[in-house]
Amino acid sequence: MTDTKFENVINFGAGPAKLPLEVLKDVQKELLGYRDTKISILELSHRSNDFNNVINSAQATLRDILNVPENYHILFMQGGGTGIFAAIPLNILKTGTADYIVTGSWSAKAAKEAAKFGKVNMVLPKTSKYTEIPDPSTWKLDPNASYVYYCENETVHGIEFDFIPETNGVPLVADMSSNILSKPFDVSKFAVIFAGAQKNIGPAGVTLVIVRDDMLGYPMDVCPTVLNFTVMANDNSLHNTPPVFQIYVVGLVFEWIKRNGGPEGMQNFAKKKSNKIYDVIDNSGGFYVCPIKRNARSRMNVPFRINDGDEKLEKEFLLGAVARGMLQLKGHRSVGGIRASLYNAITEEEAEALADYMKWFHNEHTNNLENN
């Protein structure tokens, strides 16, 4: 496959999402023979020194670019974000109660899973329409909660926190699957951070977990070994066969991010890319509408509707996008419409291409309406 063929298609999918072309080329080069092993990375033993170097290098690079303190373990686990929904209460639900800040479908699913293992306090009133992050002054936090849980970026609804919640000393847990490494943040403010790799840092099949030392050692008796943070920390994620290939690729993505300015550089790119799309929406006179309040708009996932949810027009828009090599722009099945995911690997030029198409589509249909 030639570079041109790669560059003629833009993957705006929410996950599995686009990987940096530079990383894909490295993977392609080493796929048949990893370094001096003369076997594929897909065949490499997780007990070998070569893989030990792979996982240690990935952890060291992440610790460097995120400034992860020494009292945190970096784990690579399986089961996706959904598996970690259960792992959180199974490992750290010490008081039997946990606070959940539900701002979209993923945090709602996490709260539902946690309710199997203890009491869940819903910090916000229940709603079926997620369009904002209510002011923290309205939150009902439980001072006796084992932890406070929230989702940094809701992929489906396009809601992103631009602040770290204040918990008054209660351990803070964050699902950062959709925006990990897209901006700098203070890791020391969190007890547990996790991220399914397939959205912003790698291929599906591995989940990054960053856990503080004082959260270890308290798993429930029913906690499965593969979800036990303490076991995985003691064994450096090697208690059982880990997703070797996925960890290898994630490590390459970490190195790519480091070469491109780290989280600070990614934040700069994220602002530029998302602004290109939001500017078209906001200047379309209502032809395009983003349902999310401006102070909660995601830089990673931009949902919008066309002409007040005109499904015929939206279908036409999607077909036209595919014809132009812009793939996976259809909104999540639960909300419909259009969704552009602008993860780290999406370039400014690719975001500009989508913005140009949106402008063209708007002009075409505005002219048609005027002529009719």
Residue 21 has pLDDT above 60, yes or no: yes
Regarding beta strands 148-151 and 172-175, do their DSSP bridges make them parallel or antiparallel, or are they unpaired?
Answer: parallel
Q: Is residue 47 located within the same domain as residue 112? A: yes
In a shared domain, residues 266 and 341:
yes
- Element holding 119 (H helix, E strand): strand 119-122
Residues 169 and 146 sit within 8 Å (Cβ to Cβ): no
- Shared domain check, 254 and 266: no
- pLDDT for position 370: 54
Give the model's pLDDT for residue 371: 54
Residues 252 and 326 in one domain: no
Which tens digit of pLDDT belongs to each residue from 272-321?
A: 999 999 999 999 999 999 999 999 999 999 999 999 999 999 999 999 99
Query: Is 372 part of any domain?
Result: no
Q: Do residues 214 and 180 both lie within one domain?
A: yes
**In this structure, are strands 97-101 and 10-11 parallel, antiparallel, or unpaired?**
unpaired
Structure tokens at 20: 């940096």
pLDDT tens-digit readout, 179-193: 999 999 999 999 999
Tell whether 11 is covered by a domain: no
Using 50, 70 and 90 to split pLDDT, how confident is the model at 79? very high
CATH code assigned at 247: 3.40.640.10
pLDDT of residue 1: 32
User: Does any domain span residue 9?
Assistant: no
Query: Are 186 and 88 part of one and the same domain?
Result: yes
- Of the candidates 260, 290, 319, which is a domain's last residue? 260
pLDDT averaged over every residue in the chain: 95
Domain co-membership, 156 together with 287: no
3-state class (DSSP) for residue 9: coil
Residue 368 has pLDDT above 90, yes or no: no
Residue 372 has pLDDT above 70, yes or no: no
| Distances from the Cα of 87 to the Cα of 32, 308, 322, angstroms | 35, 41, 39
217 in a structural domain: yes
Residue 366, pLDDT score? 84
Looking at the chain, the whole-number percentage of residues with pLDDT higher than 70 is: 97
Using the structure block, give the residue that is written with the tokens 């700069």.
Answer: 268
Q: Are residues 280 and 189 in the same domain?
A: no
The confidence score (pLDDT) of residue 109 equals 98
Q: Report if residue 6 sits inside a domain.
A: no
Instruction: For residues 150 and 297, state if they share a domain.
Output: no
Grade residue 331 by pLDDT with cuts at 50, 70 and 90. Answer: very high
The reply to whether 2 falls in a domain is no
pLDDT(4) > 80: no
Domain-embedded: residue 3: no
Task: Look up the pTM and report it.
Answer: 0.95
Kindly report which listed range (124-133, 207-216, 224-233) carries the lowest average pLDDT score. Answer: 124-133
The CATH number of whichever domain residue 293 belongs to comes to: 3.90.1150.10
Give the count of alpha carbons within 13 A of 303, CB side only.
24
CB 136 within 8 A of CB 165: yes
Structural domain for 79, as ranges? 22-260
Q: Give the whole-angstrom CA distance, residue 14 versus residue 157.
A: 11
Total domain count, the chain = 2
Quick one: pLDDT band at residue 153, thresholds 50, 70, 90?
very high
Predicted confidence (pLDDT) at residue 6 exceeds the cutoff of 90? no
Please name the amino acid found at residue 229. Answer: F
Q: Where is the domain boundary, 217, 242, 260? A: 260
The answer to whether residue 334 is domain-embedded is yes
Answer yes or no: do 81 and 135 share one domain. Answer: yes
Return the active site residues. 106, 175, 199
Q: Taking a C-beta distance cutoff of 8 angstroms, is the pair 170, 214 a contact?
A: no
Please give the single-letter amino acid code of residue 296.
A
Distance of alpha carbon 271 from alpha carbon 282, whole angstroms: 15
Q: Are residues 201 and 308 in the same domain?
A: no
User: Peptide bond preceding 16: is omega within 30 degrees of 0, i.e. cis?
Assistant: yes
Closest CA to 109 of 63, 143, 78, 154: 154
Domain boundary among the residues 227, 244, 260 is at 260
**239 and 313 share one domain:** no
pLDDT by residue (tens digit) across 31-75?
999 999 999 999 999 999 999 999 999 999 999 999 999 999 999
* Model confidence at 206: pLDDT above 70: yes
The reported pLDDT for the residue numbered 128 is 81
Reply yes or no on whether the pLDDT at 101 is more than 50. yes
Res 3 pLDDT > 50: no
